[in-house]
């Protein structure tokens, strides 16, 4: 898969992430915050189970040998979804997404710089630092009232 295709797919993922909190927030008005998160994850789990059984190339048997911390992604995802359900109705989608994007970029640059989790080291350089500073400035402008 080309880098262009990957960037396009991530762009589409970003669109989905921007829609998700508003959709889940509407659901939360009818069923509750935690319940909305639970329903969102349950439906997502069913969808992914179908995909894993139909098109997956791995095996769930590998689950027996993974370290505990590799299973925390679901907890982090549940925390993220629940926080967006709480935040979006109060501060708006743009402000919530700006905070998320800012935090993701700062965390991502640290993960890259130190090559955490065994991934490729991509050092923090001047260009990347300027990019982060500009994105943080944009985040601050979005939060301005």
Distance between CA atoms of residues 132 and 125, nearest Å = 11
- 88-111 pLDDT per residue, tens: 999 888 888 888 988 998 899 999
* pLDDT per position as a tens digit, 125-134: 999 999 889 9
Q: Does 52 lie in the same domain as 22?
A: yes
For residues 81 and 40, is the Cβ–Cβ distance under 8 A? yes
Average pLDDT score over residue span 47-53? 94
Q: How many domains does the chain have?
A: 2
Residues 84 and 117 in one domain: no
Q: Are residues 58 and 125 in the same domain?
A: no
Mean of pLDDT values over 49-71: 92
The reply to whether 46 and 109 lie within a common domain is no
Task: Give the structural domain span for 6.
Answer: 1-91
Say yes or no: 36 and 85 in one domain. yes
pLDDT exceeds cutoff 70 at 144: no
């Amino acid at each position: 898969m080309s880098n262009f295709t990957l960037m396009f797919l991530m762009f589409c993922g970003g669109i989905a992430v921007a829609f998700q909190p508003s959709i889940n927030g509407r659901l939360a008005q009818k069923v509750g915050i935690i319940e909305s998160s639970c329903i969102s994850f349950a439906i997502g789990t069913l969808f992914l189970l179908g995909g894993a059984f139909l098109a997956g190339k791995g095996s769930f048997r590998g689950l027996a040998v993974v370290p505990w911390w590799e299973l925390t992604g679901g907890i982090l995802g549940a925390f993220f979804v629940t926080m967006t359900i709480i935040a979006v109705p109060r501060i708006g989608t743009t402000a919530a997404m700006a905070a998320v994007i800012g935090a993701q970029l700062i965390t991502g640059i640290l993960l890259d710089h130190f090559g955490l989790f065994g991934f490729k080291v991509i050092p923090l350089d001047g260009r990347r630092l300027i990019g982060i500073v500009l994105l943080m400035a944009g985040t601050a402008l979005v939060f301005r009232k």
